[in-house]
Amino acid sequence: MSGLIIASHDLCRLHDPGPGHPENAHRLTAVRRGLTDAGLDEAITWIEAPEADRAAIDAVHHHYLFDRLEQLAGAGGGAIDPDTTVSADSGAAALRAAGAGLELIERLKRGEASAGWSVVRPPGHHATPDRQMGFCLFNNIAIAARSLASEGERVLIVDVDAHHGNGTQDAFYRDPNVMFVSFHQFPWYPFTGRPDETGESEGRGTTVNIALPAGATGDTYRHAFNTVVVPKVEAFAPTWVLVSAGFDGHRRDPLTDLGLTSVDYADLIDAVLDLVPAGRRLLFLEGGYDYQALAHTAGAVAARLLGESFRPEDPTSGGPGEEHVEMVRAIHERL
């Protein structure tokens, strides 16, 4: 099995959070440019993301979030918080963004590709079950994971965005059938994701927060993956892996202070996806706000998914954070 299916929709370009906002439609253009620069156009199948059913959204979010978004968009838009503003088209865009992952799941089940990628906006991993925040309206990856878990699948979510995926963590903090692993800068927005946040009740031990300092580079990520993530995942035995593919940990990104390159991201995501068989692998675009970095990383990641090589930068090493990784390992060994 080979191939990559990408789900997107033109409506996702129309979501407008306001002038000068870093989360804008140029990000989707950058992803497409990166795939073209990597020479992957003919190897990728693009599909239109359908609208998510309301029931799938309500399975993760309190119903009033859907209602409030519909009302705000219907009134021409408005602010939810200082970072999160909707426009008249935001509701339609959010429905397509939420539906992309669900459609990709069905296509992968039919054997149409080895992996799928939801390239949509608005992003989703900060949207909690009862709050829209941090540029996010519906939690696209959580909606897909909930659908899989409801069918008896064991779902691994790995969030490589530089910001902690607080919304995804909240959705599954007590769920023994969904493991959430987050690599993120800490302390940083949204100021959650401490290493001692490990899950509760039946979900104890299925939340893994690899909280890293500013300047962390690829060797620290690789060390964390090999020494913390792999043993946890082997014990959990997932049947699907979903990746919150936020690329704002790139050293060029204006919103964070991590030290990764596009090749660091490609190597890490490739290793994550190898934890489950082909045909059970999904990516979801989250952050990434430098257009060149976003293009390079999208191309490098997609090339690895397709068994090709596109390495516009070198991997990095020598940054801080090894002691932070050891702290996380010690916490989880005691559980």
Predicted confidence (pLDDT) per residue in 247-263, tens digit:
999 999 999 999 999 99
Indicate if 126 belongs to the active site. Answer: yes
Rounded (10°) CA dihedral 270, 249, 169, 207: 60
Average pLDDT over residues 273-296: 98
Average pLDDT over residues 11-36: 98
Report the C-alpha gap between 180 and 149 in whole angstroms.
13
The overall average pLDDT reported for the chain is: 97
Read off the pLDDT band of 271 (50, 70, 90): very high
Cβ atoms 297, 268 nearer than 8 A: no
| 43, two tokens | 């190897």
Average pLDDT over residues 27-43: 97
The DSSP bridge partners found for residue 180 are 157, 207
Report the C-alpha gap between 17 and 327 in whole angstroms.
38
Residue 166 has pLDDT above 70, yes or no: yes
pLDDT in tens, 74-92: 999 999 999 999 999 999 9
What was the pLDDT predicted at 1? 57
Distances (CA, A) of 134 to 190, 314, 321: 8, 31, 25
Helices (H) and strands (E) in the chain, counts: 11, 10
User: Which of 9, 126, 250, 324 is an active site residue?
Assistant: 126
Average pLDDT over residues 256-273: 98
Strands (E), 146-205: 155-159, 178-185
Read off the pLDDT band of 38 (50, 70, 90): very high
Angle (CA) 165 312 269, round 5°:
35
Backbone angles phi, psi at 156, to 5 degrees: -100, 125
Average pLDDT over residues 9-17: 98
- Judged by DSSP in three states, 63 sits in helix
| 299, two tokens | 């191309």
Domain span at residue 118 reads 4-333
Cβ atoms 250, 289 nearer than 8 A: no
Average pLDDT over residues 135-163: 98
Phi-psi region of 150 (alpha: psi -120 to 50; beta: other; left: phi over 0): alpha
Read off the pLDDT band of 219 (50, 70, 90): very high
Read off the pLDDT band of 135 (50, 70, 90): very high
What was the pLDDT predicted at 110? 97
- Peptide bond before 190: cis, by omega within 30 degrees of 0? yes
Average pLDDT over residues 214-226: 98
Provide the CATH number for the domain around residue 110. Answer: 3.40.800.20
How much of the chain is in helix, strand and coil states, percent to nearest 5? 40, 20, 40
Share of the chain above pLDDT 90, in %: 99
Number of domains in the chain: 1
Cβ atoms 65, 108 nearer than 8 A: no
